[in-house]
Amino acid sequence: MFVLGNVLQGTATVLDTVLWLYMWVIIARALISWVNPDPWNPIVQFLERVTEPVLTPIRRLIGWRMGMDLSPMIAILILVFLQYAVVQSLRDIALRMH
């Protein structure tokens, strides 16, 4: 049973790291949007390609409020929730299997 616990612990660690990195990608995208970025810049294109699949459905759901795009903030809140709910649950289950 301890092998499955180690696998779950590793999965939780990898998922936590991926969610943390994605949160910083969303923050970078939001910060770059404050200036007038060159749309042909490869970094800007990468940030848009990586974040649009998550931000577009949120934009459709909540729209623009007060003339601001709140979708990055909502996405970050969802990512933090996933880190606390899913990752911590996986770690707790792994701990109980040891």
Supply the DSSP string of the chain, one letter for each residue. -HHHHHHHHHHHHHHHHHHHHHHHHHHHHHHHHTS---TT-HHHHHHHHHHHHHHHHHHHHH--BTTB--HHHHHHHHHHHHIIIIIHHHHHHHHHH-
Give the closest residue to 26 by CA, choosing from 81, 71, 86. 71
Is the pLDDT at 68 greater than 90? The verdict is no
Is the CB of residue 70 less than 8 Å from the CB of residue 30? no
pLDDT value for 63: 76
pLDDT value for 62: 86
pLDDT value for 77: 96
Is the pLDDT at 67 greater than 90? The verdict is no
Is the pLDDT at 28 greater than 90? The verdict is yes
For residues 56-81, give the mean pLDDT: 89
Angle at 19 between CA 39 and CA 33, to 5 degrees: 25
* pTM across the whole model: 0.88
Is the pLDDT at 25 greater than 80? The verdict is yes
